[in-house]
């Protein structure tokens, strides 16, 4: 099978949820023996190409990468187009030309459209199909974007009016683009069963495949929390997207003072804009805002609990797997951990509301035996549930079955 894969950018370093998911699936899919070519932008943090709009190289997994320029252009031009701002930026600087060349000069059995933002390619792909309907088209979703983007726009009440209007317009563009993908491709993958149900409600006749993430990082099965472990809760992740920032701010407005009063540290670790980090650190001086770090492990091993508190946004939270495989007890809002097989209070601490979550986290913080029982039970279930190799072979079988 010859497969062309379209994704946002070269996913290493894989330091955000979407990059971890794309990297894991591309690597696992390549491991099935498929002939795989990927079109993307180069990684702006650590470029692997020559910086041009047409870099090419083959990595150690046997994947051929055709890379556009590392840096994306501005968003403002998207306002005059039907494209969401992400799509407008991602098609320029190399990928649009690379796709046209690949379709014109080569034959493909399947094309994977990795993320709704890559939906800019749909028109060219549909136009390029021949009588036997090759190549088969797969939409690899990361979220139900229509739901997530509309929700973000709705709750962006603190933003200036022009930005709120732009977010609403962009959300509708994303929704239309996602709907076109679901209507025209041969297979839609979903990151959780909840996302699949949302797609199926509108497109009941489409084929679906649920692909929750796997885990390929370092594991710490022997880690134990002791009395010497800092009384600290950590929140990891990427805080570049506006939805992530709103989730963080909403949580801290309720939780920061309560954690400080209980003598429990709150630590936020992850990639974000330095201006935002400084501003939010000034608003919440009792919270430790670390920002971007080269390696999460030291922070995960030096805390008693990992938090997942998202009230807006969907999909699978990849940081949950980092917590679980570091044997860091996980606490979160129940709706924010869709896709996790863990539901027992002996494995994870899940609550339905923010006040109840904060109360229970603070109550559990000094119960060291309970924390170790939770982390041990959760790891045992995780080791069975999250295997990237299985995801790659299931995707291969689903495409071959088309």
For 106-156, write each residue's pLDDT tens digit. 999 999 999 999 999 999 999 856 555 579 999 999 999 888 888 878 777
pTM of the entire predicted model? 0.85
Set out the domains of the chain in order of their start, with CATH numbers. 2-214+387-400 (3.40.50.2000), 232-385 (3.40.50.2000)
Phi-psi region of 313 (alpha: psi -120 to 50; beta: other; left: phi over 0): left
User: Tell me: the pLDDT tens digits for 90-105?
Assistant: 999 999 999 999 999 9
User: Tell me: the pLDDT tens digits for 158-189?
Assistant: 778 888 898 899 999 999 999 999 999 999 99
- Which of 183, 186, 138 is CA-nearest to residue 34? 138
Sequence-ordered strand ranges (E) for 263-329: 265-269, 288-291, 305-308
- Which of 292, 285, 308 is CA-nearest to residue 233? 308
Q: Are 233 and 264 in contact (CB under 8 A)?
A: yes
Q: Is the pLDDT of residue 275 over 90?
A: no
Between 286 and 131, name the one with better pLDDT: 286
């Amino acid at each position: 099978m010859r497969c062309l894969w379209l994704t946002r950018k070269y996913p290493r370093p894989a330091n955000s949820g979407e990059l971890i998911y794309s990297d894991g699936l591309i690597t696992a899919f390549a491991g099935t023996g498929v002939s795989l070519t990927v079109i993307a932008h180069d990684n702006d943090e650590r470029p692997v190409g020559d910086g041009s709009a047409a870099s090419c190289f083959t990595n150690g997994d046997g994947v051929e990468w055709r890379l556009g320029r590392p840096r994306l252009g501005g968003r403002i031009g998207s306002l005059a187009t039907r494209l969401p701002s992400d799509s407008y930026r991602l098609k320029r600087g190399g990928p649009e030309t690379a796709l046209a060349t690949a379709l014109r000069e080569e034959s493909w059995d399947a094309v994977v459209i990795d993320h709704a933002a890559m939906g800019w390619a749909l028109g060219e792909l549909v136009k390029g199909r021949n009588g036997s309907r090759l190549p088969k088209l797969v939409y690899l979703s990361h979220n139900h974007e229509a739901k997530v983007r509309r929700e973000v726009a709705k709750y962006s009440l603190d933003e200036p009016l022009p930005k709120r209007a732009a977010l609403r317009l962009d959300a509708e563009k994303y929704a239309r683009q996602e709907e076109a993908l679901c209507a025209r491709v041969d297979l839609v993958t979903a990151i959780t069963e909840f996302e699949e149900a949302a797609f199926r409600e509108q497109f009941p006749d489409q084929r679906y495949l649920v692909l929750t993430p796997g885990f390929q990082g370092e594991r710490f099965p022997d880690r134990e929390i002791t009395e010497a472990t800092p009384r600290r809760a950590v929140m990891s992740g990427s805080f570049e997207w506006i939805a992530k920032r709103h989730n963080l701010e909403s949580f801290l407005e309720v939780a920061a003072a309560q954690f400080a009063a209980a003598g429990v540290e709150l630590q936020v670790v992850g990639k974000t804009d330095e201006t935002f980090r400084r501003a939010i650190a000034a608003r919440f001086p009792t919270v430790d805002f670390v920002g971007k770090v080269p390696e999460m492990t030291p922070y995960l091993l030096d805390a008693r609990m990992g938090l997942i508190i998202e009230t807006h946004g969907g999909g699978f939270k990849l940081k949950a797997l980092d917590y679980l495989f570091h044997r860091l007890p996980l606490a979160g809002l129940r709706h924010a951990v869709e896709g996790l097989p863990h539901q027992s209070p002996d494995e994870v601490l899940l609550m339905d509301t923010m006040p109840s979550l904060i109360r229970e986290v603070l109550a559990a913080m000094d119960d060291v035996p309970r924390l170790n029982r939770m982390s041990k039970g959760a790891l045992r279930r995780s080791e069975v549930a999250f295997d990237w190799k299985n995801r790659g072979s299931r995707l291969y079988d689903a495409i071959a079955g088309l």
